[in-house]
Amino acid sequence: MSLQCPDSLAAVAGFFNEMTPAKLGQMGDVYAPGVKFEDPINAAEGLAALKHVFEDLFKQLKDVHIVVKDAHGDERTGFLLWTMRYQFRGKDRLIRGTSHLRFAPDGRVIEQKDQWDASFVVYGEFPLMGWMMRGIRRMVRVKPLV
């Protein structure tokens, strides 16, 4: 997919699309040394800490592929819409998410906040929690009109 967006945002989108354990050594090209990162599970401050988060992602999950679907923003801030496909416990999984990015004056990411639903894709993997969450979902789901 060809994204029409500022160079800094395009660089991050390209990094996401091509992210592999081998490419993590190039993180400094798109992330500033003092980067702050947060997602529903992790928080990290600094390039080394963020690299550790991504390294752990590749250790915990198999066959990770991120695809950026859309990007909007300017040279100061931007949003990415993405999907991450992976395997966990022998099953194919999918997470849809967004990243809100803020850029340093040199165009590298200084802050990244990822949003995605961790309820079923992560917590639902635990037998008791998954059972409870499915029950809650059944209780609060909108009932069809009769």
Q: Which CATH number is 20's domain given?
A: 3.10.450.50
Residue 100 lies in a domain: yes
What are 111-140's pLDDT values in tens digits?
Answer: 999 999 876 565 556 666 666 666 666 666
Q: Which of 8-12, 85-89, 91-95 has the highest mean pLDDT?
A: 8-12
pLDDT score for 133:
61
Residue 22 lies in a domain: yes
Tokens of 86: 């992976």
The values of phi and psi at residue 91, to 5°, are -120, 145
pLDDT score for 1:
45
- What is the pTM assigned to this prediction? 0.80
Residue 102 lies in a domain: yes
Residue 143 lies in a domain: no
User: 27 Cβ partners below 8 Å, 6+ apart?
Assistant: 15, 47, 50, 51, 54
Please count the structural domains in the chain: 1
- Decide if 73 contacts 6 (C-beta within 8 A): yes
pLDDT score for 136:
61
Own/partner pairs, 42-46, CB within 8 angstroms, 24+ separation: none
Structural domain including 105 reads 7-116
Residue 2 lies in a domain: no
- Decide if 70 contacts 80 (C-beta within 8 A): yes
Residue 140 lies in a domain: no
Q: Indicate the DSSP class of residue 41.
A: S
- Please state the rounded mean pLDDT for residues 80-96: 91
Residue 146 lies in a domain: no
- Please state the rounded mean pLDDT for residues 1-7: 65
Residue 138 lies in a domain: no
CA atoms within 13 A on the CB side of 6: 18
pLDDT score for 139:
65
